[in-house]
Structure 1
């Protein structure tokens, strides 16, 4: 059974164990913060697999988490804004995938880790861009999120910057992120199939790791305490910076 699983996923037992631990932690963070699942997986697992192989895995993980969390997002999020973001994202994803599939694994790792750190730091600094509150800003943010998804499956972090510019309540921001990640996943899979990165091994890895991810998300939802909501985002972003920084050092100076 285990041998067949490892064969289908093209992973060693040690790699599978490490990835399982990573997705459980990422699922917990996604459960109580509403974002950062893929970013944490990318920042941690990029030392095991190149980004182009992690992107389709993250799709399965995000879809699993979104199915559990989409109901709350649908009720609380501004659906017109989410639709505009999804349209922009759908256009942007192929551009990100085009770059990811055309550069070397080492360069893609460097780009992914620097992108994660830059996005996390910008959110920690609470950078607000007034332009994003306009209609061009809406679709432009969606497009940028799509490119980031194609590059590193971190489109949700770009959307977080957009939502931050709206001065929206924390619950509404979390709901918009959750709903965006769910709906955009449905359109992103088309691009993943078109570029051939969603192959048999990716499907096997994604389905296998979706189980511990779901467990982590459920744990994270139970850990969510409204009065501590203000502390979740800084904690998650600081964790991302630490993980991405550590992986950057290991990949560039090992």
Structure 2
């Protein structure tokens, strides 16, 4: 059975096993934090699956997770914030994609990751970052995240950083992230279709991984309870730090 799945997905059995474990972990992270699924996979599975093959898989798994978490996200989210960020991000994505022809992708990703890491560490150290409280911070963050998504595919980390810098309670923060990612599926789908990377192989692999990621989302969502809400923000900032460092290492080494 497992060997047949390996043949069907075009991934060797050892790599398929490792990928399945990482997909489950990514699902747990997504279920608890409301974000991070793609970043976890891009920091791990990319070692043996190139980004061009992994990106459509991430999209389909994010879509499965977003649909599973939509009801709770819609209920808990700051809808105005989530929708504004999603609209402004959608406007920025084409600009980022257009810029990829003139700006080296690795350089843009390196700069973006360093910025995310710096601002995250400032929050962890409880140093007030007035950048996030400026009058136009909300639409500007969404627009900047869209550009970064087009350039380096890490716009979600920028959005997470902005929402975590807010004074909202943990449940509303998580809900806003879930709703933003749900809205972002439309933009992501248009991008994938534009570059013709959503192929049959990606769909087959995603069908295998979808039940695994949904199981992880269920576990992660169960972990997000009242006893952990107090540590949610710090846990997510720690997650952002780890993901930013992993992204930096991958950008420099690979």
TM-score range, shorter chain: 0.7 to 0.9
2:230 is equivalent to residue 230 of structure 1: yes
Give 1:220 deviation, angstroms.
0.9
1:39 aligned residue: 39
Distance (Å, rounded) in 2 between the aligned partners of 1:26 and 1:243: 12
Unaligned runs of 5+ in 1: none
Distance 1:98 1:134 in 2: 28
Give the distance between the partners of 2:6 and 2:151, measured in 1 at CA.
Answer: 26
Q: Which runs of 5+ in 2 are unaligned?
A: none
Residue 122 (structure 1) aligned with residue 119 (structure 2): yes
Counterpart secondary structure, 1:125 = helix
Q: How far 1:237 moved relative to its partner? A: 4.4
Q: CA deviation at 1:25?
A: 0.5
Q: 1:195 to 1:47 in 2, by over 3 A?
A: same
Please name the residue that 2:147 is paired with.
Answer: 147
Distance 1:205 1:101 in 2: 30
The residue number in structure 2 matching 1:49 is 49
Superposition map of 1:21-170 within 5 A: 21-97=21-97, 108=106, 112=109, 115-116=112-113, 118-120=115-117, 122-126=119-123, 129-133=129-133, 136-170=136-170
1:70–1:179 Cα contact (<8 Å) kept: yes
Aligned residues: 251
Q: What whole-Å deviation, never above 9, does each CA across 1:20-56 have from its counterpart, x for those lacking one?
A: 1111001111111212111111122222223333222
Cα offset for 1:59?
A: 1.0
Determine whether 1:218 maps to 2:218: yes
8 Å contact from structure 1 (residues 28, 217) kept in 2: yes
Mean Cα deviation higher: 55-64 or 223-232: 223-232
TM-score (norm 2): 0.81
